[in-house]
Amino acid sequence: MSNDIVIRGLGRHVPEKILTNADFEAIVDTSDEWITTRTGIKERHVVSEGEYNSDLAVGAARMALKNAGMEAEELTHIIMGTITADHVVPSGACVVQEKLGLKHRVAYDISAACSGFIFGLENARAILALHPEAKVLVIGVEVLTHRTNFEDRSTCVLFGDGAGAAILTQGGEGPKLLDVKLSTDGSLANLLTVSGGGSAATYKLGDTVGPEYFIQMQGREIFKHAVRSMTGICNQILEDNNLTNKDVDVLIPHQANWRIIDAVGRKFEIPAEQVYSNVQRFGNTSAASVPLALSEADETGFLKEGNLVMLTAFGGGFTWASALLQY
Ligand SMILES: CC(C)(COP(=O)(O)OP(=O)(O)OC[C@H]1O[C@@H](n2cnc3c(N)ncnc32)[C@H](O)[C@@H]1OP(=O)(O)O)[C@@H](O)C(=O)NCCC(=O)NCCS
């Protein structure tokens, strides 16, 4: 068996319900024109009552299994990048394991905000190095709209719900995962927080939740760091692999905001038509954004045999990451 790490299948799942910019005009003081010009977002999918993070994750996992021609039974590990699991305990991955009808697997969550899926890919590489027979399911999933303050116009228009998934093995058919790079900087933590619900805050029965329970962020500062960190870590992974930006055929960045995607593409000097974007239809789905875009780009033929594909993400923490795929 070759010791290449291969993506055997990709999947994605979003809720049916859609919130358009026109819907937001009725909720907060905003306009389709402001949201479109500042973010590129036109609509986002949001969960309905009774629809959970684990349901989206299982939907994406089942599609990835079908795409890989595998049965759930074959999976040995489930890694889930998420900051919005159904519960604090149990972990989201344990709930997904149960919903997939599996027992006695290794299942755990990674908290790396929007970079969670790529952090999961690095975990999968480590698992496969130690256990060459493993079949690892990596999911990026988020229900951020349950941690969004719908009275705060500067954040509520940005986020959506969704999931994406990949199954990785050593050897087999599919794009090769050539390398992954991760980075974090806790000194930037205050730029993006959801502090309520953490153990630093003491709650007692009957307390009502305050704004700290929802996403709070300094948009302008995040914008600058996002562009700088994603461009930097993309250059780093290329340098470490003796490649340059001219070798990259397709860039799939975290889908936070069209202007960020565009700025990263420009700094990276990759033509706009080689940068994949679906932020218009999904908004920022955090850990789900990269695998959701990757699964779409793979299925629609945007990604072609022979392509070198760069994934990159950034998120609260701060965390940022890049990964190289050889199609
Ligand atoms: C949030 C973001 C779109 C705001 O765009 P911006 O150009 O930086 O806008 P500013 O925050 O400077 O706000 C400009 C004005 O628009 C207003 N505004 C904010 N949200 C608005 C909305 N939804 N509709 C209308 N006006 C809005 C502000 O109140 C401000 O008004 P003021 O000048 O009267 O004070 C942008 O900063 C961004 O995308 N940042 C990155 C955020 C991100 O990706 N976070 C997730 C990280 S994973």
pLDDT digits (tens, 9 = 90+) for 276-295: 999 999 999 999 999 999 99
- Ligand 1 atom closest to the CA of 316, numbered from 1: 48
d(CA 148, CA 144): 6
198 contacts: CB under 8 Å, gap ≥ 6: none
Task: Tell me how many degrees the CA angle 169-119-280 measures, rounded to the nearest 5.
Answer: 100
So what's the pLDDT on residue 273? 96
pLDDT digits (tens, 9 = 90+) for 84-109: 999 999 999 999 999 999 999 999 99
Residue 235 beta carbon below 6 angstroms from any ligand 1 atom: no
Cβ–ligand 1 distance for 150 under 6 Å, the answer: no
Residue nearest to ligand 1 atom 38, measured at CA:
219
List, in order of start, the domains of the chain with CATH numbers: 5-174 (3.40.47.10), 178-326 (3.40.47.10)
Mutate to test the pocket of ligand 1, among 37, 42, 154 (most ligand atoms within 8 A of CB): 154
What residues act catalytically?
A: 114, 254, 284
Nearest CA to ligand 1 atom 1: 219
What is the rounded radius of gyration, in angstroms, for the C-alpha atoms of the chain?
Answer: 19
pLDDT of residue 1: 60
Tens of pLDDT along 114-128? 999 999 999 999 999
